[in-house]
Every structure is written in structure tokens, then in C-alpha cells.
Structure 1
Amino acid sequence: MSKTKVAIIGSGNIGTDLMIKVMRTAQHLEMGAMVGIDPESDGLARARRFGFATTHEGVEGLIRLPEFDQIEIVFDATSAKAHIANAERLQPLGKRLIDLTPAAIGPYVVPAVNLEEHLDAPNLNMVTCGGQATIPIVAAISRVVPVEYAEIVASIASKSAGPGTRANIDEFTETTSAAIVQVGGARRGKAIIILNPAEPPLIMRDTVFALVAATDPGVHDEIRASIEKMVADVAAYVPGYRLKQQVQINEIPADQPVETLLCCDTGRPTHQVSVFLEVEGAAHYLPAYAGNLDIMTSAGLQVAEHLALRASDRQSAAAKES
């Protein structure tokens, strides 16, 4: 069975790590082209050594490549601003786009939560690294009890944050906060990112705080079980994803002000759920501390694999009918 050819726009850290994942782990995908704007970038140099088509002339260079017509899926690992222009150029040409920037032109996709809902969308947005790590936890709590407020804190090694990540800090907080609500199911969400300068660099850590009304200890057990199942679901495609310690569910003191965190008058939450996560990278391209890159590229790859498998199944069904 033939594999689906993909192109990657962005020859930096994320794009290069994704290229290596496609080569090493993809079952239904194969590299078609690597695209950048710096002819001396390490990502383009590696792609050339591997024998893939390359261009340092951005999306226009991609379109001019002889291999362009064979490419069905395009990953965009550039920046939020650049993705807007890239999408305007590529979507009319019939290419499926998987957006690894916080541009959020298309629907938010977190594979463990809502992958099947958006497989027909022409442009799928992978939210952010912090969103991929924490939104599944918010969703796991939401399927047991309403989440009045969810706050996530993503702490990543400063060394793992390249120019694109740093340029997108504002978009990170806006996109992640919106996805906490739209995908995670919280009534209100807030996202915070920390670029940790510690040496040696620390592995990505993520914290989720959720306010809920749940006085029944039996519900607490359901929340813990739901979170543990979700962690296993994410770890199926991000092996370094894990709980750092047991889920904590604590009663909110009567004198603790929480009203300013709530979006509407739905009653005072009774408990805070605290979840502490760690994401260790697979070290395909960058060191293991760069779990923020690994979870983004792993999530994007998971989406592309499903798109390719679905297209293959449809072709097989059509062939049988004819």
C-alpha cells in the first residue's frame, strides 16, 4: 500500500524533529519535501542528506518543486503570522494543512480528546505544546463533573524555545486559553507559560488546576480514574507523557476568594483538582528535556496518520465498488 507524501514548512527545531519522526515511526506517511527560508539551516541540510526535496524559498519554493503535486498533507511549523499567509496560498491548491503554530485558523485538535471530530477540516490546528499536554486532563475531569475554571501552567526549558516559540508567546496564552474551554470543556480557562532558564535544562512540567463542585468522595475516585485513563491515552502516542505524582483533590476553604475566576453565577465550586505532569522528549532530534517539542510533533504526526489511513480506506472502498 502506498504511503501519503507530506511536506514540512519550517526547518527549525519542530520541523526537523517532525521530519525524523516521519522517517522513523510513521506507518502511513513518507517525507516529500522540507521547506525553510534559511539555506544554511540544519533542518534543510539534514533533509538534503536524507535525499528529500528541499527549498529555502518558503511556500512559493514548495509550490515550484516537481514533487509538489504528489504531496497531500503539509505540516506548518513556522509561526502564527506565517501560517496565515501559508494557508491562504496552499488551501486553494487542495492541500490538507496541519498547523503546529498557535494561528488557530482551523479547529483545535487534541488527538486524545477530539481527533475524530475534525478529520474533514482542511486546516487542523494543534493548539500549543502546553495545550496538548494539559487539555486532555481538563477534558478528563469535565467528562465526570463540570469544570468551572481551569488554569494550566506549562514550564519548559528555555533552551528548547526557539525563535518561533518566543515570537508566539502572546498567541500561546490566547490560543491555549480558548482551547481549554472549547476542547477541554471548562467554563473558563487560563494559560501561563514559563521559559525556565535553569541549567542543566529541566524536562517539561505542566500543572493543571481545576475548580469543581464535587463533595461526594465517590466522584473524586471517578475523577482520578478518568485522569489516569486519559494519561494512558496520551502516552500511547507520546511515550514520555506521565503523571509526576498522584492527583490531588482538596476542599476549597470557605474564606478563599474564587469568584473572580468564574465566568458566570453557577454556584461556588467546592474542590480544587491539582494534576502535575511531566513530558520527556523522545530525543529524536533535540535532548529529552525538550518534551514541549516532542508532544507537538507527536500529536501532529498522530493526526496525519489518521488522515492518511482514512484516505487509504476510502480509496480501497471505492476500488471495491468499481
Structure 2
Amino acid sequence: MAKVKVAIVGSGNIGTDLMIKIMRSARNLEMGVMVGIDPASDGLARAARMGVATCAEGMDGLVKMPEWEDIKVVFDATSAYAHKKHSATAIAAGKQVIDLTPAAIGPYTVPPVNLDAHLDQPNVNMVTCGGQATIPMVYAVKRVAKALPYAEIVASVSSRSAGPGTRANIDEFTETTARAIETVGGADRGKAVIILNPAEPPVIMRDTIFTFSQGAEPEEVEASVEAMVKEVQSYVPGYRLKQKVQFEHIGDNNPLRIPGYGEFSGLKSSIFLEVEGAAHYLPAYAGNLDIMTSAAMATADRWVERTLRA
């Protein structure tokens, strides 16, 4: 069966990695056009060498190309600010939009948690790299607990894997990730921190997740977390626990105080992850890119299966 043609808007690190993933391993997707605004960008040059049509005039140039008519899915890997215009243009033309920016115009989508829940929406949002890595763990705790009052994540990525788009969206990253920890992960209150690590040699993406739950036993949490890791590994093989989940019981006699929120008793879980990339475009340390592009491709593949081939 013929594959569906897609366009990627944004020829930076994320867009280029996504292009290579689609060309190598997508089940239902085929590259139609790679779009950028810098004619000298490596992403556009690489696309041209691989036989993909290119456009260096952004979204405005894409809609003037004859290939536009055949495009069914538009991936946006630019910025939160630019995405508002890009999304409106693509939706008006009847295209499905997969948003890899923190704009969050459409609902948050994290494949192992809610992949099918929003595929009838014209625009779905991939949250952030930190969100894609950590929200499955937050949800893994939530699904075995009676309550999850709080979850906090710290995403540490190599500064060499953070391009200008990532750096320009740091505030949006933390805000979007925190909201998604609540709306998708199920925490009553969420917090997110990102660290750009300048270490040389570059470090692999590391994520630390702290959850505070009530009504769950450590054995239940540990089993749920390990099962969720396997689910994520089905599309991100380099996703793994660095060590066993750590637990601390917080009693009523010495409650956990969260400033500005309250005091709580229950179970504190500490989850430590490492995300190694597949090195399709950038080196393996860029797991933050790999998990975003892998999630976006998985979402688009599933959209084709459910919407166009049901």
C-alpha cells in the first residue's frame, strides 16, 4: 500500500533527524518536502542529497509548491511562535499537523500514555523532549496509586544537542512540560526543570523523576515503571532505567512540605532514566532529539492507520 507523503517544516537538528527516521523506518510515511528558511542549512542540503524536494522559503514557500497538494501530514519543528501561523495554514488546507514545538495549540500526545486519544484532532502536540521521556514514568506511578499530589522532573541534555530552536524556547519548555505532567501524567501539581550540560565529552540525556503518591505500594510502582519502560523501548530502544526505583515512606509525623502547595504523607519515588539516541543524524548522546522525533513518527504512523486505512 502506498505511503502517505509528509512535509517537515524546520531543517534544524530535530527536523533533520525526523526526516532520516521517516526515510529509514516509517511504516506509513514518505518524505515529500523538507522546508527551512536558511538555504545553506545542513538539513536542506542533506535532504537534497537524499532526493527529497526542498524549500528554503518557509511555510509560505511550501504552499506554493506543486508537492503541497499531495502532503497529508505536516510536522512542525520550528518554534512556538512560528507554529501558530504554520498550524493555521496547514489546517486550513486539510493537513494533519504534528507539533514538535512547545506551542501546545493542540492536545498533548505521549504515545504510550494517550496515543489514540486525540488522533481525531487536526493538531497534536508532542510536548517536549523532557516530557516525552518523563511523563510515561509519572503516568506509570499514577495508574497504580489512589492519588498523585505531586511530580517533578529534571531533564539534563548535552548543550551540543540543543540547537537555537531549543534555546529560544526554554521558558515554553518548562511551562509546557509542567502542564503535561498534570494533564497527561495525572499529577495534581507538576514541575519541570531543564539543564543544558556543557560537559565534554557530551553526556547522554538523563532524566530524574520524583513522584509523591498515596495508596500505592513500592512493589506496584516498581512493576508499573518497568512495564512502561518496555513500552517506550518499542519505539525508543535506547530508553532505560539507570538503577532500580528508589522509595521513601513519608509519615504523618514528618510530612513532606512542598512550598506554596502544602504538606503531605505518602510514598516518594525517585526514578532515574537514561535516553540514548539511535544516532540517525546526531550522535547517540542526543537522546532528547531521538525521543521527540520517534514519538512524532509513531503518532503520525498511527494517525494514518486509524484515519486513512481504518
Using the TM superposition, give the Cα deviation of residue 53 of structure 1 relative to its aligned residue in structure 2, in angstroms: 1.1
Residues 287-306 of structure 1 correspond to what in structure 2 (within 5 A)?
A: 287-306=283-302
Amino acid corresponding to residue 282 of structure 2 in structure 1: L
103-112 vs 79-88, which moves further: 79-88
CA–CA separation in structure 2 for the residues paired with 1:30 and 1:40: 24
What root-mean-square deviation, in Å, do the aligned CA atoms of Structure 1 and Structure 2 show?
Answer: 1.3
Q: In the alignment, does 2:133 pair up with 1:137? A: no
Residue number in structure 2 paired with 1:224: 222
Residue number in structure 1 paired with 2:204: 203
CA–CA separation in structure 2 for the residues paired with 1:261 and 1:283: 42
Alignment gaps of 5+ in structure 2: none
Amino acid corresponding to residue 200 of structure 1 in structure 2: P
CA–CA separation in structure 1 for the residues paired with 2:246 and 2:256: 20
Residue number in structure 2 paired with 1:9: 9
141-150 vs 267-276, which moves further: 267-276
CA–CA separation in structure 2 for the residues paired with 1:12 and 1:53: 16
Deviation sequence 1:234-275 (CA, Å, 0-9, x none): 110011000010011112364464242647xxx722221000
CA–CA separation in structure 2 for the residues paired with 1:258 and 1:212: 14
Deviation sequence 1:81-130 (CA, Å, 0-9, x none): 01111112221111100000000000000000001100100000000000
Residue number in structure 2 paired with 1:185: 186
Residue number in structure 1 paired with 2:231: 233
Residues 97-108 of structure 1 correspond to what in structure 2 (within 5 A)?
A: 97-108=97-108
CA–CA separation in structure 2 for the residues paired with 1:126 and 1:169: 15
Residue number in structure 2 paired with 1:52: 52
CA–CA separation in structure 1 for the residues paired with 2:124 and 2:87: 11
CA–CA separation in structure 2 for the residues paired with 1:140 and 1:39: 44
> Retained in 2: the 8 A contact 1:149–1:261?
no
Residues 1-322 of structure 1 correspond to what in structure 2 (within 5 A)?
A: 1-145=1-145, 146-214=147-215, 219-252=217-250, 254-255=253-254, 257-260=256-259, 262=261, 268-314=264-310
10-19 vs 250-259, which moves further: 250-259
CA–CA separation in structure 1 for the residues paired with 2:183 and 2:265: 20
Deviation sequence 1:8-62 (CA, Å, 0-9, x none): 0000000000000000011111000000000000100011111111110000111
> Retained in 2: the 8 A contact 1:148–1:262?
no
CA–CA separation in structure 2 for the residues paired with 1:269 and 1:106: 35
> Retained in 2: the 8 A contact 1:34–1:52?
yes
CA–CA separation in structure 1 for the residues paired with 2:138 and 2:235: 18
Higher strand share: 2
Using the TM superposition, give the Cα deviation of residue 313 of structure 1 relative to its aligned residue in structure 2, in angstroms: 2.2
CA–CA separation in structure 2 for the residues paired with 1:195 and 1:29: 32
> Retained in 2: the 8 A contact 1:153–1:206?
yes
CA–CA separation in structure 1 for the residues paired with 2:66 and 2:51: 14
Q: Secondary structure at the match of 2:61?
A: helix
Q: Secondary structure at the match of 1:67?
A: helix
> Retained in 2: the 8 A contact 1:148–1:269?
no
Residue number in structure 2 paired with 1:320: none
Higher helix share: 1
Q: Secondary structure at the match of 1:64?
A: coil
Amino acid corresponding to residue 231 of structure 2 in structure 1: D
> Retained in 2: the 8 A contact 1:3–1:29?
yes
253-262 vs 124-133, which moves further: 253-262
| CA separation of 1:260 and 1:160: change in aligned 2, threshold 3 A | same
Amino acid corresponding to residue 64 of structure 1 in structure 2: K
CA–CA separation in structure 2 for the residues paired with 1:261 and 1:279: 32
Alignment gaps of 5+ in structure 1: 315-322
TM-score, length basis structure 1 = 0.93
CA–CA separation in structure 2 for the residues paired with 1:175 and 1:23: 29
State the aligned residue count.
308
> Retained in 1: the 8 A contact 2:119–2:303?
yes
After TM superposition, where is structure 1 displaced by more than 6 Å over at least 4 residues in a row? none
